[in-house]
């Protein structure tokens, strides 16, 4: 998914990076930029107990405040939340997780990667950090995990925010859905041409990223193709929530970019009002990842939702 950079970090590093091997230089720029941004936004890296694996995280904000846990989508990582999360660290305890097999959390072929298994790791992480309940925010696959937890473990979920969430059957297929029906998974490719086809599908308003870094991201996808295929198969074997939405009683916000090519925007009409206590926000100009495409606007909508929740047990 989308990798984001600060111009300041790029400027500072480009001289040194230019002597590195292409496209490895793109990885150097990217990692340094993420480290700089996370520091500027009051977040630090730490690992946490996920039960059957150690999970890498960003953490920040006052530990005494209500917790907000952010969960990325398939093939993405915790970095996709950085510019969104900066709007929460003053008032909330923020935890951003790399799910098993993603980002800096290792891939183990012996593990399961379905929504329930990944959700159990999130709960184990919360336990290890002393968090009894949290506001959960998830994008795509992460949204499905959040909804699964809201259904199965409502006592752990103060609220659920589902951003372009997988997990229900849309009335109309997405661009990706039509490709999958023909046996073509756009996430799985063997060359940079495949990445160049896939990447524009992820966002309608992608922030600028230098070509050297995009080349590096492409090499990462290609190198991880086998493990991504395993995770995809496990995740897509998870039973959908179509028939269980009325059983979700957690306050829920459904957010969608109308230009989403990966998960059909028509799914929003299934989530909400399928979930009884549900609110809905649509962004006509955005795609699959509003928290990257317009972090300020999407964060403001989530903060407004959280601020208007009825009083409850922290």
307-314: long-range pairs with CB below 8 Å, 24+: 309/158, 309/159, 309/251, 310/251, 312/158, 313/133, 314/66, 314/132, 314/133, 314/158
pLDDT in tens, 50-76: 999 999 999 999 999 999 999 999 999
| pLDDT of 15 higher than 80 | no
Residue 261: phi and psi, rounded to 5, are -100, -10
pLDDT in tens, 217-273: 999 999 999 999 999 999 998 899 999 999 999 999 999 999 999 999 999 999 999
How much of the chain is helix, strand and coil, in % rounded to 5?
45, 15, 40
CA nearest neighbour of 69 among 133, 1, 5, 4:
133
Domains of the chain: 48-184+231-307 (3.40.50.1820)
Model pLDDT, residue 225:
97
Q: Which helix (H) or strand (E) holds 135?
A: strand 134-139
112 vs 100: CA distance, rounded Å: 9
| pLDDT of 12 higher than 60 | no
Model pLDDT, residue 312:
65
- What is the average pLDDT score of the chain? 93
| Averaged pLDDT for residues 110-134 | 98
């Amino acid at each position: 998914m989308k990798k984001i950079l600060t111009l300041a970090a790029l400027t500072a590093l480009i001289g040194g990076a230019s002597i590195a091997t292409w496209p490895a230089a793109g990885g150097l720029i990217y990692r340094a930029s993420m480290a700089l941004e996370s520091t500027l936004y009051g977040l630090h890296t730490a690992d946490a107990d996920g039960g059957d694996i150690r999970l890498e995280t960003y953490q920040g904000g006052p530990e005494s405040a209500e917790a907000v846990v952010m969960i990325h989508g398939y093939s993405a990582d915790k970095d996709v939340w950085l510019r969104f999360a900066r709007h929460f660290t003053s008032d909330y305890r923020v935890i951003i997780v790399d799910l098993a097999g993603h980002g800096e959390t290792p891939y183990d072929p012996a593990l399961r990667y379905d929504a329930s298994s990944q959700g159990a790791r999130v709960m184990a992480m919360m336990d290890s950090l002393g968090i009894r309940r949290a506001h959960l925010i998830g994008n795509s696959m992460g949204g499905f995990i959040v909804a699964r937890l809201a259904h199965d473990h409502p006592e752990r979920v103060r609220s659920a925010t589902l951003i372009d969430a997988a997990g229900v059957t849309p009335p109309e297929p997405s661009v990706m859905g039509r490709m999958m029906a023909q046996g073509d998974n756009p996430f799985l490719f063997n060359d940079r041409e495949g990445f160049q086809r896939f990447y524009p599908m992820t966002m309608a308003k992608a922030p600028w990223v230098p070509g050297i870094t995009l080349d590096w991201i492409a090499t990462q996808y290609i190198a991880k193709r086998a493990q991504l295929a395993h995770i995809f198969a496990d995740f897509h074997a998870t039973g959908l929530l179509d028939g269980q939405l009325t059983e979700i009683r957690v306050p829920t916000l459904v957010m969608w970019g109308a230009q989403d090519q990966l998960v059909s925007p028509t799914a929003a009409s299934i989530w909400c009002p399928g979930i009884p206590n549900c609110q809905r926000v649509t962004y006509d100009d955005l795609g699959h990842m509003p928290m990257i495409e317009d972090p300020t606007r999407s964060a403001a909508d989530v903060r407004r939702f959280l601020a208007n929740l009825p009083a409850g047990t922290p």
